[in-house]
Amino acid sequence: MFRTAVRSMSTTARKSLTIGLIPADGIGREVIPAAKQAILALGSDLPKTEFVELLAGFEYFKRTGTALPEETVEILKYDCDCALFGAVSSPSKKVVGYSSPIVALRKELDLYANIRPVISVAPTSDEKPSVDLVVVRENTECLYIKQEELTVGPNGKEARATRLITERASRRIGQIAFELASKRPRKHLTVIHKSNVLSVTDGLFRETVRAVPLLPEVNGRYNDVTVMEQLVDSAVYRLFREPQIFDVMVAPNLYGDIISDAAAALVGSLGLVPSINAGDDFVMGEPVHGSAPDIAGQSIANPLASIRSAALMLRHLGYNKGADRLDIAVDQVIREGQVLTPDLGGKSKTEEVVEAVLKKI
């Protein structure tokens, strides 16, 4: 299971823990407070814990002209041990001056790995989950560098985007993926690419990731990891037809984003899927779902992905006992099926689901 295969960034005992909270837009303002409540319920399994409320998002941009205040970045860098990010609205049309704050935060804090476990929770504890995979997504490059231009040519408007793949970033994400795969029971890694068409960019990603076991510093640690490859379109097809064949999947930024959202459909809802944005010195939990403006403020947002993201964040910091308590509580609520939000077929309010989880904790 992924839950037992996350590296701790530090084994040093902390006397206190400061967590930055960035609800941002839409239902982020409902689910991040839920995660905070769950963390507080852990009591003595964590050191003294403090929370810092921070600003960012499209709504903040509309008020101030800035999506990510410098103060938010500075506080995260110098005052926080970790953070939780809610959700950000992404306008489908270009808005002058606006750029996604979550993309900016990943770059500012060098959170180069987006790790998204997708695990189905069986209706009874005796049944083996049919989906148990981890998508490891490179977080800083690909088309998300947002270098686009619009020109006019003989055929009218022409839009171009630059796609960046570097050896350094591909090697770093490859090492994270191999490390995760080596700690899981199946020890299986699938490299996702489209190098049959994009032979230069995806070719570099593929070759660099596959070469990770040959690095001198690895020293044979990944010899027991089985490595396969899958073209991204075929991977999506097989993900829906036979998800059990996948264990750890490593992909460039755009492919990883699409695959992880698609995989969420296999376990019932985006509202169940957590993630962490991890670097060498910082980790930020982030539920995979978006800001969901159509249901914002109605108290029907699913808080479970944010609570699971808090568990992932805590486990990455080495607080395994507290993380286990959060995961077990969420699993029990899902299995019982009595208190669920509408996205899972239930009729419960966000607050009712949070209360059910808190009772299990």
Q: How many angstroms separate the CA atoms of 355 and 339, rounded?
A: 9
For residue 285, pLDDT over 50 is answered with yes
Give this prediction's pTM.
0.90
The residue that leads in pLDDT, 97 or 306, is 306
The DSSP result for 198-234, as a single string, is -TTHHHHHHHHHHTGGGSTTTTTTTTT-EEEEEEHHH
| Chain segment 11-41, per-residue pLDDT in tens | 456 789 999 999 999 999 999 999 999 999 9
| Chain segment 35-62, per-residue pLDDT in tens | 999 999 999 999 999 999 999 999 999 9
pLDDT band, residue 90 (cuts 50/70/90): confident
For residue 315, pLDDT over 80 is answered with yes
Task: Identify the pLDDT of residue 162.
Answer: 94
Q: What is 1-120+273-361's CATH superfamily?
A: Isopropylmalate Dehydrogenase (3.40.718.10)
Which residue numbers are catalytic?
Answer: 144, 194, 233, 257, 261
Q: What is the CATH number of domain 121-267?
A: 3.40.718.10
pLDDT band, residue 9 (cuts 50/70/90): very low
Q: How many angstroms separate the CA atoms of 98 and 70, rounded?
A: 15
Domain with CATH 3.40.718.10 in the chain: 1-120+273-361, 121-267
Say if CB 169 and CB 205 are below 8 A apart.
no
pLDDT band, residue 264 (cuts 50/70/90): confident
- CA of residue 171 relative to chain centroid, distance: 19
287 backbone φψ class: left, alpha, beta (φ>0; ψ -120 to 50): beta
Task: Identify the pLDDT of residue 123.
Answer: 56
| Chain segment 227-261, per-residue pLDDT in tens | 999 999 999 999 999 999 999 999 999 999 999 88
| Chain segment 109-163, per-residue pLDDT in tens | 999 999 999 998 865 445 555 889 999 999 999 998 888 899 998 999 999 999 9
